[in-house]
Structure 1
Amino acid sequence: MKKIGLILLGMALFSRSAAAFSVMHEFNIGIGPFDASRTRFSYTLEPESFEVNSSVKTFGVFDTLYPFKADYKTAGKVSKNNLLPLNYRYKSQTRFNKRSKELVYDDAGTLLYRKSSKNGRSKKVGIANDDKNNGTTDFQTVFAKLARQYQKVRFCDSRMPVFDGKRRFDVIFKDEGTETLPQSEKFSFGGKAAKCSMYIDKLKNDDDDMLMQISAERPIYFWIMEREGKPFIARIHIDETPLGALDAYAADIQIKD
């Protein structure tokens, strides 16, 4: 559950404009029989920098059973048409645990150290130079890179290596064709959509990170639609979780140029 904000936030990072712009997304998330969460994302992409902020909080009965809230922030720069993270911050709270993490990079986007805490106990770990770190990024920047790719070539197919100072894994995106999404009480953005999938490969996870565990075993599907000539993510779906299927529907989208 801990990475739900990161995954859904990434799905919001799409626009065709090359100029500076910002987008705010709100998703309603259902898991099995539960109206489970409200998630908000805001991000800004500029010619020389980018920033992504998100928050997620469980809702209603699901919040009583599985309370969780988290905030995420990534800031970085654009260098030679590549997105380089400079700082990543995360904090979360469940029923029993409070966690935080910070990743700090040098000006070339190389990870220098990570700081983490759990229930008041903290540690700082320096990251040794390793060729395996070259070309890796943090989890949020993956989605910003995908957004820029989609702006240029209008497809999702890609594979991006991630290193968070502790774990290494690949995030794989694939095109899955097109579908028509019907309007409903849950979803007001009916119409033709491009379908893509995301798969997290080579991930070994041993903490209270439910969504990362399930996404390591099966794909996450998402549908891209357009409003006012700009693409956005309308729906996200995971076939199975321990509590049933997960569906996220865009409830509100605000775009500012």
Structure 2
Amino acid sequence: MDMTHRTALPARLPSAALAAGLCAALAGLLPLPAQAQRWHLDYRVHVGGVAVLDARAELTLTEGRYSVQVNAATDGFLGRLFPWETQSLSVGTVRPDGVAPIRHTQSGVLRGSPRTVTLDYAADGSVRTQVSPPPEEEDRDPVPQDLTRQTRDPLSGVLEMLLAGLHGEGCQRTVPIYDGRRRYDMIFTDRGMTMVGTSRHSVFSGAARQCRVSHKPIAGYERTPRQAFWQRGGGREERPPVDLWIAPVEGAGPPLPVRLETDSGFGGVVVHLTAARKTDRTAERPAGTP
């Protein structure tokens, strides 16, 4: 398939969209209350037809708890222009009415500067935030505390949407997201079943459910924004939507994110699934949970 077609990932790098796609696989793990499944997923990101980023995800669900870990870093020409790496971990519980995040951590380096986020969630829906650098050092206003209540981190938010899809809602949902710096809504629209063509870059081809992800900014953005990864000019145009395809990779296995596409200022972005490995484990509490 032509990699320079419309493509994947939003913003100043794929963090939100890539994370969203990577945790989609958790939706299919729910029927295993006592036997944990752990998936190791590898992805490669192409921008304008050139491989620029590798990402690895580890997804675990057991005894009503979930754990999602994502590691990624830019490489090649984009890595020289926009040095970026990130390690993210979300843990929480799965309830009949959705997910309840317990803790989300993210650490990384953007343009040579270390960045960290820790979000701790209370039972009443409030969120305790530790973030470095602080908002005032980035020319941004802190997100008001009342806007962070009952929100999800990006990984947990997408998982909640996918769990709702298991009840017949498809991927039609709006999820309130707070990532420690910004408050925004992720708006998912179900586009139905489509075909993913054969590509030498991917282990998957065939029928998959297409979900379109849009972004609605609410609070916490830079007062004078720098040109983002996805912008073609110097204006403040909206982020292009992200298209995500989800399908089982192994027979009756869980639905996994098999492809993402979006646009960027450097050309089309395509995220390919390059490997998917499953291990069955005796029930255990995901690492990082209290």
Q: Give the TM-score range, shorter chain.
A: 0.7 to 0.9
Unpaired runs of 5+ residues, structure 1, are none
SS in structure 1 of the partner of residue 150 of structure 2 = coil
**Distance in 2, Cα, partners of 1:25 & 1:202:** 29
1:253 aligns with 2:276: yes
Contact 1:178 1:192 in 2 (8 A): yes
Give structure 2 stretches of 5+ with no counterpart: 1-10, 281-290
1:114 is matched with: 129
Give CA deviations for 1:106-129 in whole Å, capped at 9, x if unaligned: 244421x2111239x99xxx9976
**Residue type of the partner of 2:214?**
Y
2:156 maps to a residue whose letter is T
Structure-2 residue corresponding to 1:157 = 172
Residue in 2 that maps onto 1:181: 196
TM-score (structure 2 length as normaliser):
0.76
Q: Structure 1 213/136 Cα, relative in aligned 2: closer, same or farther at 3 Å?
A: farther
Bigger mean CA deviation after superposition, 63-72 or 208-217: 208-217
Q: Distance in 1 between matches of 2:226 and 2:96?
A: 38
User: Where does residue 101 of structure 1 map in the other structure?
Assistant: 117
Residue 245 (structure 2) aligns with: 223
1:9 alignment partner AA:
A
Q: Does structure 2 conserve the Cα–Cα contact (< 8 Å) formed by 1:2 and 1:208?
A: no
SS at match of 2:28: coil
One of 229, 235, 238 as aligned partner of 2:259 = 235
The alignment covers a number of residue pairs equal to 251
Superposition CA RMSD, Å: 3.0
Written as runs of structure 1 = structure 2, the 5 A alignment for 1:14-93 is 14=25, 15-17=27-29, 18-19=31-32, 20-93=36-109
* 1:192 paired residue number: 207
1:164-196 Cα deviation digits (max 9, x unpaired): 455321111011122222212112311111111
Distance 1:68 1:153, change over 3 A: same
State the alpha-carbon separation in 1 of the partners of residues 229 and 66 from structure 2: 26
Deviations 1:48-78 (A, max 9, x none): 2111111111122332332211111111123
- Structure with greater strand percent: 1
Shift of 1:79: 3.8
Segments of 4+ moved more than 4 angstroms: 126-129, 211-216
**Residues 156 and 53 of structure 1, relative CA distance in 2, 3 Å threshold:** same
SS in 2 for 1:150: helix
1:157 shift after superposition: 0.4
